[in-house]
């Protein structure tokens, strides 16, 4: 469906480049939900935004993004905007708070689909809203009249009205209450199951939320992939020391300080204007060796997984 190859996207600043995405390679298959997890500054948002919404100060240094045989990095902005929304649709972070406050939902939909949609788009919207548990008269409401959970579902319905191949959803559940979080994630899975969208890239800082619906999970750290593979394997048996530390630092229900004390990751993530040499995780890694400091780890295949760590290179 989508293949990203050695993508490097930097931010240009007065004092040089900030290497936000630095050599990322992955594929998105037909019918799958790929979860991308990472902490703030890991590059996950930059990565997915660059795929379909590239704009300054993002600069592509290298790499390609191939969708249906077309390299999205080599086409004009005009051609890219034709693919946006109909082929690849993105719900950026905070989109639910960016709906125009002076327009009714109906007008927002009309503006977005003008010249792109065929048939009775309003009837389709009404049906989709019903599918996600919202009454059709939401179309007559202003965004401010809807709760956060309702707005987020409206945004997701609007973004998928033209049945795109790929839906990219960036932190769409992070501002929601837990019950609504679950409803929205289940709704996304049902979009995939009913063929409204073919594949989904779901970006979140919450790995437990991703785990609920993702088929594969990709963990990012400081602009690079640490590990990517089937969700059960990455969560159940993490290989990369960063993935392991991340999962160990999340308290599970049933774990109490009094009986089992957890520890967080020591130190701070690196500054991406001047990242460390070698593996970017080495300054915080408890098992780092000399080669981790000197050279970047190549991708290592372990079963269905790809891990970027010297422990698995077999050397």
Q: Kindly list the residues in this chain that would bind other proteins in the complex (CB under 8 A).
A: 39-40, 133, 135, 147-149, 177-183, 185-186, 205-209, 211-212, 235, 245-247, 249-257, 261-265, 268-269
Least Å distance between CB 213 and other proteins? 8
Nearer to other proteins, 72 or 150 (CB): 150
Q: 121-131 and 105-113 are packed helices; what angle lies between their axes, rounded to 10 degrees?
A: 120
Least Å distance between CB 241 and other proteins? 12
256 is written with which tokens? 């109490």
Whether 294 and 227 have beta carbons less than 8 Å apart is answered as no
Q: Which residues pair with 93 in a beta bridge?
A: none
Least Å distance between CB 227 and other proteins? 15
CB neighbours of 49 closer than 8 A, spacing ≥ 6?
A: 58, 90, 92, 170
The alpha carbon of 277 is separated from its chain's Cα centroid by a whole number of angstroms, namely: 26
- From residue 235, alpha-carbon distances to 104, 126, 145, 228, 232 in Å are 42, 38, 39, 11, 5
Least Å distance between CB 261 and other proteins? 7
What is d(CA 315, CA 306) in angstroms, rounded to the nearest whole number?
Answer: 16
What is d(CA 13, CA 29) in angstroms, rounded to the nearest whole number?
Answer: 35
Least Å distance between CB 252 and other proteins? 6
What is d(CA 234, CA 2) in angstroms, rounded to the nearest whole number?
Answer: 21
Nearer to other proteins, 103 or 141 (CB): 141
Least Å distance between CB 214 and other proteins? 10
Nearer to other proteins, 106 or 182 (CB): 182
- From residue 156, alpha-carbon distances to 28, 114, 230 in Å are 20, 18, 25
Nearer to other proteins, 14 or 257 (CB): 257
Residue in 34, 92, 51 with CA at minimum distance from that of residue 217: 34
Omega prior to 57 cis, within 30 of 0: yes
Nearer to other proteins, 9 or 219 (CB): 219
Nearer to other proteins, 16 or 148 (CB): 148
Nearer to other proteins, 4 or 272 (CB): 272
């Amino acid at each position: 469906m989508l293949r990203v190859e050695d993508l490097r996207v930097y931010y240009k600043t007065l004092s040089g480049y900030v290497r936000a995405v630095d050599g990322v390679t992955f594929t998105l298959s037909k019918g799958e939900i790929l979860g991308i997890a990472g902490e703030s500054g890991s590059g996950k948002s930059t990565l997915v935004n660059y795929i379909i919404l590239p704009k300054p100060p993002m600069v592509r240094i290298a790499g390609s993004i191939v969708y249906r045989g077309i390299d999205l990095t080599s086409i004009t902005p005009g051609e890219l905007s034709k693919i946006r929304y109909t082929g690849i649709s993105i719900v950026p972070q905070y989109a639910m708070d960016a709906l125009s406050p002076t327009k009714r939902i109906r007008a927002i939909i009309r503006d977005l689909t003008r010249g792109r949609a065929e048939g009775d788009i309003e009837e389709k919207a009404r049906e989709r809203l019903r599918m996600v548990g919202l009454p059709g008269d939401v179309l007559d409401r202003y965004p401010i009249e809807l709760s956060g959970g309702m707005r987020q579902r409206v945004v997701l319905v609007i973004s998928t009205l033209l049945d795109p191949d790929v839906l990219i959803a960036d932190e769409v559940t992070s501002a929601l209450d837990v019950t609504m979080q679950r409803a929205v994630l289940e709704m996304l899975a049902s979009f995939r199951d009913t063929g409204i969208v073919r594949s989904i890239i779901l970006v979140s800082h919450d790995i437990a939320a991703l785990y609920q619906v993702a088929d594969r999970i990709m963990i990012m750290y400081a602009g690079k992939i640490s590990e990517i593979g089937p969700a059960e394997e990455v969560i159940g048996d993490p290989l990369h020391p960063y993935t392991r530390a991340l999962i160990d630092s999340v308290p599970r229900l049933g774990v109490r300080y009094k009986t089992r004390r957890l520890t967080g990751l020591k130190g701070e993530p690196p500054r991406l204007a001047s990242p460390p040499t070698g593996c970017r995780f080495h300054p915080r890694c408890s098992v780092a060796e000399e080669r981790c400091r000197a050279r970047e780890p190549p991708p290592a295949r372990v079963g269905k997984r790809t891990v970027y760590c010297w422990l698995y290179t077999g050397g």
